Amino acid sequence: MIVTVTPNPSLDRALDVERLEVGEVNRAHAAHVHPGGKGINVARALARHGLAAVAVVPAGGADGARLVTLLGEHGVPAVPVPVAGDTRTNVTLVEADGVTTKVNAPGPRLSDAEVDALLAAVEDQLTSAPRAVVAAGSLPAGAGDAFFVRLAGLAGRYGVPLVLDTSGAPLTRAVRAGGLSLVKPNEDELAELVGRDLVTVGDVVAAAREVIAQGTTAVLVSLGAHGALLVREDGTWWAGGPPLVPLSTVGAGDSTLAGYLAGTGSCADRLRTAVAWGRAAVLLPGTEVPGPDQLDLDAVRVVETPDPHLALKEL
Ligand SMILES: Nc1ncnc2c1ncn2[C@@H]1O[C@H](COP(=O)(O)OP(=O)(O)OP(=O)(O)O)[C@@H](O)[C@H]1O
Ligand SMILES: O=P(O)(O)OC[C@@]1(O)O[C@H](CO)[C@@H](O)[C@@H]1O
């Protein structure tokens, strides 16, 4: 069982338009709604592969209730924590050429009592000894930048590995505090974390090693169209595949993380699985997650100890 925590979940609405005309009335030719938020997407991707995952989420108002219903329809048991504010809606506009524009709402402010209730709901799940806790996405106002540090402390007390996918100050705080089993930044999030641009494979590996030195076991860096790098104390691996024309890249990083968690075998094997799940996700509309028959593991090439001088855009 994997427990996911999404402190700021969303109803993800995607509208497919031929071409986005900014400042004009645009008409969509298709609309999609998915239960969204990074931890939720990880849980959905795992569930799609028959793996047990629950989603702990604050839920408020009619949209919070809808989110919980949708999670059930997607085969993910929800652990809703009632909150006074309304669960947010995030909107994605996808153009015919794959260009994606996303607008994420801030989400409801949580009170101190609601934040404590969220942590208590996670603690309740920890008592059943899950394989890991995956905490992912942005933090709503009121949660405090140290929310993931508190969560890591809680998971540590129960001996359960904490996997983190977030950005900005909450990521910085959690990495500095240490005690993380895996972090999954994308290239921009890792660059912001270390405070410098990342141009080459060597730059990414050095940045990931800084994270590891502060108390994280492994760093999985997703690189969009250029695949992903896995950095651990004992090695570095890159995986990627031939170019794809994406239908929607929303949630591809979450499917990548889910694939890594679902993967078995060597580091290279797990990274191959991760990248195959991410690549399959970009070929699906909205925030849809791939199923087993949509994966192409053979298309993914894995390289151990990739050349540090290679530019990321050459991968
Ligand atoms: N344009 C693309 N072409 C091929 N593969 C892609 C493309 N974009 C993403 N991917 C695949 O999806 C994975 C995750 O993508 P990305 O690095 O954009 O994640 P992310 O920024 O965390 O996304 P999100 O936050 O929306 O989940 C990549 O490692 C890659 O395997
Ligand atoms: O605003 P956050 O929490 O950073 O990201 C939320 C979000 O963009 O992330 C997922 C894709 O990774 C979407 O399902 C969701 O809308």
Sheet holding 53-59, edge to edge: 78-82, 53-59, 2-5, 132-136, 162-165, 180-183, 216-222, 228-232, 235-240, 301-304
Q: How do 88-95 and 53-59 pair as beta strands? A: unpaired
**Token pair of 46 as six digits:** 């795992």
The pLDDT value recorded for residue 81 is 98
* Single-letter residue type at 169: A
Quote the CA–CA distance of 11 and 186 in Å, as a whole number.
23
User: Ligand 1 centroid to 71 CA: how many Å?
Assistant: 23
> What residue's CA is closest to ligand 2, atom 13?
37
Tens of each residue's pLDDT in the chain, 315 residues: 999 999 999 999 999 999 999 999 999 999 999 999 999 999 999 999 999 999 999 999 999 999 999 999 999 999 999 999 999 999 999 999 889 999 999 999 999 999 999 999 999 999 999 999 999 999 999 999 999 999 999 999 999 999 999 999 999 999 999 999 999 999 999 999 999 999 999 999 999 999 999 999 999 999 999 999 999 999 999 999 999 988 889 999 999 999 999 999 999 999 999 999 999 999 998 889 999 999 999 999 999 999 999 999 999
CA–CA–CA angle 15, 19, 22 (5° rounding): 90
The pLDDT value recorded for residue 278 is 98
Would you say 252 and 278 are in contact if contact means Cβ atoms under 8 Å apart? yes
Quote the CA–CA distance of 309 and 20 in Å, as a whole number.
38
Q: Which residues pair with 164 in a beta bridge?
A: 135, 183
Task: Look up the pTM and report it.
Answer: 0.98
* Single-letter residue type at 63: D
Quote the CA–CA distance of 34 and 94 in Å, as a whole number.
15
Q: How many residues does this entry show for the chain?
A: 315
Quote the CA–CA distance of 104 and 122 in Å, as a whole number.
25
Quote the CA–CA distance of 68 and 91 in Å, as a whole number.
18
Q: Measuring CA to CA, which residue among 131, 124, 107, 128 is closest to residue 38? A: 107
Q: What is the DSSP string of 81-128?
A: EE-SSPPEEEEEEEETTS-EEEE----PPPPHHHHHHHHHHHHHHHTT
The pLDDT value recorded for residue 286 is 84
CATH class assigned to 2-314: alpha beta
What's the ipTM?
0.98
Q: Which of 234, 254, 298, 307 is catalytic?
A: 254
Quote the CA–CA distance of 19 and 94 in Å, as a whole number.
8
φ/ψ (deg, to 5) at 123: -60, -40
Q: Measuring CA to CA, which residue among 140, 124, 123 is closest to residue 7? A: 140
The pLDDT value recorded for residue 247 is 87
Looking at the CA of 243, name the nearest ligand.
Answer: 1
To which residue do tokens 């609405």 refer? 13
Would you say 103 and 89 are in contact if contact means Cβ atoms under 8 Å apart? no
Question: Any catalytic annotation for residue 254?
Answer: yes
> What residue's CA is closest to ligand 2, atom 15?
37
The pLDDT value recorded for residue 117 is 98
Please measure the distance between the N-terminal and C-terminal CA atoms of the chain and give it in whole angstroms.
34
If one counts every other C-beta atom within 10 angstroms of the C-beta of residue 154, the result is 17
To which residue do tokens 């410098």 refer? 196
Give residue ranges with CB within 6 A of ligand 1.
186, 222-225, 227-228, 244, 246, 249-254, 256, 275, 278-279, 282
